[in-house]
Structure 1
Amino acid sequence: MECFSHSFTHPGHVRMNNEDAYFTNDSSGLWIVCDGMGGHQEGNFASHLVTDIFEQIELRGSFEQKIEAISSQFYNIHRILQKKVHKLGSNAVIGTTLVLLLIEGEQAVSIHSGDSRCYVYRNNTLSMVTQDHARSIQSEGGERKALTRALCAPGELSLEIKKFTTYKNDVFLLCSDGFYDNLSHTFIKKGMEVDILANGMQLMCSKVLSGVADDNLTATLVSVR
């Protein structure tokens, strides 16, 4: 089986900067989406630290060894963020959500921390591979979302690793909350049904950008053929 991908990122209509980042390597079967947090400089640093590091490494060995190597890189990134927070002071927060998909033959794994998501469209059914690490809290402005996990400093790193089997004609979507928060489940399914990835992505992104789009949005579609 071969995998093909198409990605899109946009700052949205409200924020001046884009703290999201993504990494794609179809030949290695590896895709990542990150949503930085902690203010522009810090959020941008954290999300791009992830993608920059994976640009530089080559995964080798068995599927299990690759999963171990990926996890080790995330813990290494976490240590880098901890050191940066220590330099900036006790009130600093630097971090990013992450969602990663690795496919090798029929073997697949998702690794995530935070509320960036992985969906799969299979046999005319759309389902979520990941579950958000977040909870709803009440504030003066109404209900808002608080992350319960992330690749963040200060704090501990907790990764959720889910192994599963993938099949020919599966389509995956990795995306930040600025993307899926503005789309219904039905519309995401509609976008993932489109045979040409670029056309499906354009359909979904145009829908998001036709609305408020008050957050950065990033998405990667992956087709297994």
Structure 2
Amino acid sequence: MPYSTLAYSAATNAGHKRENNEDTFLSLPERGLWLVADGMGGHDAGEVASAIVRDTLLDERNKNLTQAIQSSHRAVLEAAARGKGAPGMGSTIVALHSEGDEYEVAWVGDSRAYLWTHTDDGGRLERLTTDHSYVQMLLASGAIGEDEVERHPDKNIITQCLGSHELQNVKVDSVRGQWQRDQWILLCSDGLTDELDDEDLARLLYRSRHPRAAVNKLMRAALDAGGRDNITLQLVQSPLNRRSRWTTLWQWVPHITGKRGPDLTLYGAALLSLALVLYWVAR
């Protein structure tokens, strides 16, 4: 069966506490490729590292996702050796490649991917990635429990990143899956997940009918919750979802109740009222 170009939406924000944004993202629906990269290193070096990662994957069109990410690791190391950026700069990455009804997610670091399936009974959120972090190692060893992970003081210490000079090669983890209807994949930096837990994400995704509306809600909620770090996210919709003219129109309708019928009625009434006012003024 033919598959349409995937609908998606993306946003990035420096947050309330940081002067610069070291995150970056790449959206290439024509190639079925999306990524989020979270740079680190300070003094602008983090944004140099994440930009190198982004540009490397943009150029490495003939390599698979894992190979392209390995190439970006070497590119960051080589740039630092040439004096570009700063020694010790690095970046995380989480990337999605979609082809037909199949997808692959690959990552290094603690940027995450989630699979959201919309259902009438509240939806289902599944984390596709496992953080490369110190706290995740503690959890895997049994030293801490699930309930301790999110509030652990060392939760942001990662065990590997692209550009780490201790590693000749990074360990790129990946998962593959098959798209179903009414699914989205969320890619995000830890600036989002530090502010919103999985329950928050699921609630906001359930209240949204289009990736654009969901991205706006998630970003607003993360900023309202503190916005202590750079925040970047992308939402990509299953190619099995049919995109009609009504679906395209729906993304521009303000979501007041979260239900299509009432929201279209309210929006239509508002437009009609505005038209009547303008007509009255113009008379």
Q: Place the TM-score, normalised by the shorter chain, in its bin.
A: 0.7 to 0.9
Higher helix share: 2
Residue type at the aligned position of 2:209: D
8 A Cα contact 1:36 1:95, kept in partner: yes
2:163 corresponding residue in structure 1: 152
| 1:178-215 deviation digits (Å, cap 9, x = unpaired) | 01111121221122221121111111111111132110
Provide closer, same or farther for how the CA distance between residues 211 and 115 of structure 1 changes in structure 2, counting only shifts above 3 A. Answer: same
- 1 CA distance for matches of 2:88 and 2:79? 10
- Under a length normalisation based on structure 1, what TM-score does the superposition of the two structures give? 0.86
Are 2:249 and 1:214 aligned?
no
- 2 CA distance for matches of 1:57 and 1:73? 6
Of the three residues 143, 153, 170, the one matched with 2:153 is 143
Residue type at the aligned position of 2:126: S
1:45-194 superposed matches below 5 A: 45-59=48-62, 68-88=63-83, 92-122=87-117, 123=119, 124-136=123-135, 143-144=153-154, 145-156=156-167, 157-193=170-206, 194=208
Identity %: 27
After the TM superposition, list the runs of 4 or more consecutive aligned residues in structure 1 that deviate by more than 4 angstroms. none
> Could you list the runs of 5+ residues in structure 1 that have no partner in the other structure?
60-67
Q: Superposition RMSD on alpha carbons, in Å? A: 2.1
8 A Cα contact 1:94 1:154, kept in partner: no
- Under a length normalisation based on structure 2, what TM-score does the superposition of the two structures give? 0.69
How many residue pairs get matched? Answer: 212
Of the three residues 18, 21, 37, the one matched with 1:18 is 21
| 1:146-201 deviation digits (Å, cap 9, x = unpaired) | 10121123122110021222212211100000011111212211222211211111
Say which is worse superposed, 108-117 or 197-206, in terms of deviation.
Answer: 197-206
What is the SS of the residue equivalent to 1:143? coil
| 1:73-121 deviation digits (Å, cap 9, x = unpaired) | 2222222222233345xx9311100000111112111100000000011
1:62 corresponding residue in structure 2: none
- 1 CA distance for matches of 2:40 and 2:55? 17
Say which is worse superposed, 145-154 or 7-16, in terms of deviation.
Answer: 145-154
Higher strand share: 1
Residue type at the aligned position of 1:223: Q
What is the SS of the residue equivalent to 2:114? strand
Q: Quick check: which has more Rg, 1 or 2?
A: 2
| 1:20-62 deviation digits (Å, cap 9, x = unpaired) | 0000112221110000011142211110112223334545xxx
Say which is worse superposed, 30-39 or 187-196, in terms of deviation.
Answer: 187-196
> Could you list the runs of 5+ residues in structure 2 that have no partner in the other structure?
139-151, 242-283
Say which is worse superposed, 24-33 or 110-119, in terms of deviation.
Answer: 24-33
- 2 CA distance for matches of 1:150 and 1:162? 18
